[in-house]
Amino acid sequence: MQRVQSPLDNNFSMSRLAMGLWRLVDWDYAPQQLVALTESLLELGVTTFDLADIYGDYRCEALYGEALRLEPALRGEMEIVSKCGIKLCGSDNDFRLNHYDSSAAHVTASVDSSLAKLGTDYLDLLLLHRPDPLMDADSLAAALQGLLEAGKVRAVGVSNFLPHQFELLQSRLQAPLVVNQIEVSPLHSQPMFDGQLDFCQRQNVVPMAWSPFAGGELFTGTGEAARRVQACLEELGAELGLEPQQVALAWLMRHPSTMVPVLGSGKIDRLKSAVAAASVDLPLETWFQLLRAARGRDVD
């Protein structure tokens, strides 16, 4: 599978598709099963694994760390992405409500916690999970720079940041923000029109696309737009000899921003199908046919 090289950092690249591990707890896999899944993905060329400190009630990083400790050599074959900056009420804390915390102290402590849970010395990519209205850009940038210089993270980026929020943090940071992970799918195509993906292209930022199947709505949703998209995916799949999920992924990867969809299935057959979509080049009119189904109207 081809890789996506960051134009801003010659030392940072990702696989064309990333493996999302936010449902790790739900899969109820034993550590050895996670090792087998990881090995299968690496063989397929999927080397980027996406986590966050809060996933699975703060448990996913530790669960994945148990698996990596069984086969330490796997660590050198992958890129681990993790996120911080959200504090969720959970079983192991006493937060009164969900809130953001982008303070230098919290970000630094979160990285140390992630490293300990994962059993690794570094994260390949650290993302700020959400824009914080109380973000002190100077203090946060200094913390990120310190983590980079200490070797605890090798690259930094953001998630769900709008262009002006991205620019504020970047203006205070020496190192480049190499990634913005945002929601994009046929049922959430707004980033293609509201400037988010234009900004990524202009700034040479790699966009990662979370929820590329709209949380399953592409296949099981009952809303009017979801039903239109489902019918279109079936029709196009039959025409092209592809599965509906392959059409949806190829549609995202046809975009010139070179976005990296984050997969969410723990089933290897579905993952193999997804990987095959990376080699599909959708015809131009086919791409716009799915866009028309998603938006419920033709182009202007």
CA 5 to the chain's CA centroid? 15
Report the C-alpha gap between 263 and 206 in whole angstroms.
16
Report the C-alpha gap between 245 and 37 in whole angstroms.
20
Cβ-based neighbours of 142, under 8 Å, separated by 6 or more: 104
Number of other CB atoms surrounding residue 195 within 10 Å:
14
Catalytic residue numbers, as ranges? 55
Report the C-alpha gap between 270 and 206 in whole angstroms.
25
> Strand pairing partners for 206?
179
Angle at 272 between CA 36 and CA 9, to 5 degrees: 85
Name the token pair of 212. 């590329």
**DSSP assignments along 118-145, one per residue:** HT-S-BSEEEE-S--TT--HHHHHHHHH
Query: Three-state DSSP class for 80?
Result: strand
